[in-house]
């Protein structure tokens, strides 16, 4: 009798693990497909999410790729203004200020750049973006970040009341993205249930 109980327990655990693994794979595929499916509709503003600044004060490769995408689309007239959102990282640099300086060097006028130095996480960026949009009577926004980060960022923006959202992913793919995709699974559902 005890052996039958153990068998049922192991079988039940197997099906639970199989279900979770299948759910993780399907969800991850959806995140990747959504991230690479750029929606380049014209918007009132773009928001570029921050990332690491190197010890020499220069944007990391990931952050630079996000900013380069913003410059490319700005020059195509997809939006007239850019919000740069980030916080002060462990390296001691204000990501948003570094991002602004990079864009200015790329000949984006300072008046077209809005600095959000309190974007310490995706949800805070969403809250700050909503406030900036309300203050400027903006109704639509384009998210610019890494492909695996697009779905959660759009979710965060919707949760604060922004409804017209498009997106563009940075032109960079790295081996470490595998870890980032894995991390997005719990992070996404944290945003679903917490915010």
For the chain, how long is the longest CA-to-CA vector? 76
The closest of 72, 75, 82 to 38, measured between CA atoms, is 72
Is this structure's pTM higher than 0.95? no
- What is the number of structural domains in the chain? 1
Please report whether residue 106 resides in a domain.
Answer: yes
CA distances from 121 to 79, 87, 101, 116 (A): 23, 8, 21, 12
The Cβ of residue 151 has, within 10 Å, a number of other Cβ atoms equal to 22
Q: Which domain holds residue 141?
A: 33-194
pLDDT in tens, the chain (195 residues): 667 777 787 887 889 889 999 999 999 999 999 999 999 999 999 999 999 999 999 999 999 999 999 999 999 999 999 999 999 988 889 999 999 999 999 999 999 999 999 999 999 999 999 999 999 999 999 999 999 999 999 999 999 999 999 999 999 999 999 999 999 999 999 999 888
Please report whether residue 131 resides in a domain.
Answer: yes
Please report whether residue 9 resides in a domain.
Answer: no
Task: Give the CATH number for residue 165.
Answer: 3.40.50.620
């Amino acid at each position: 009798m005890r052996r039958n109980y153990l068998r049922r327990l192991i079988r039940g655990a197997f099906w639970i693990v199989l279900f979770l693994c299948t759910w993780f794979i399907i969800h991850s595929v959806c995140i990747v497909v959504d991230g690479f499916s750029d929606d380049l509709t014209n918007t009132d503003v773009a928001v570029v999410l921050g990332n690491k600044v190197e010890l020499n004060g220069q944007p990391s490769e990931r952050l630079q790729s996000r900013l380069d995408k913003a410059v490319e689309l700005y020059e195509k007239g997809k939006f007239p203004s850019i919000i740069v959102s980030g916080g002060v990282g462990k390296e001691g640099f204000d990501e948003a200020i570094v991002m602004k300086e990079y864009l200015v060097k790329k000949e984006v006028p300072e008046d077209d750049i809005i600095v959000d130095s309190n974007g310490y996480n995706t949800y805070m960026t969403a809250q700050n973006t909503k406030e900036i949009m309300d203050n400027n009577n903006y109704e639509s926004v384009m998210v610019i970040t890494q492909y695996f980060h697009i779905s959660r960022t759009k979710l965060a923006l919707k949760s604060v009341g922004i409804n017209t959202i498009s997106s563009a992913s940075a032109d960079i793919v790295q081996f470490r993205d595998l870890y980032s995709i894995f991390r997005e699974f719990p992070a996404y559902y944290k945003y679903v249930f917490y915010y």
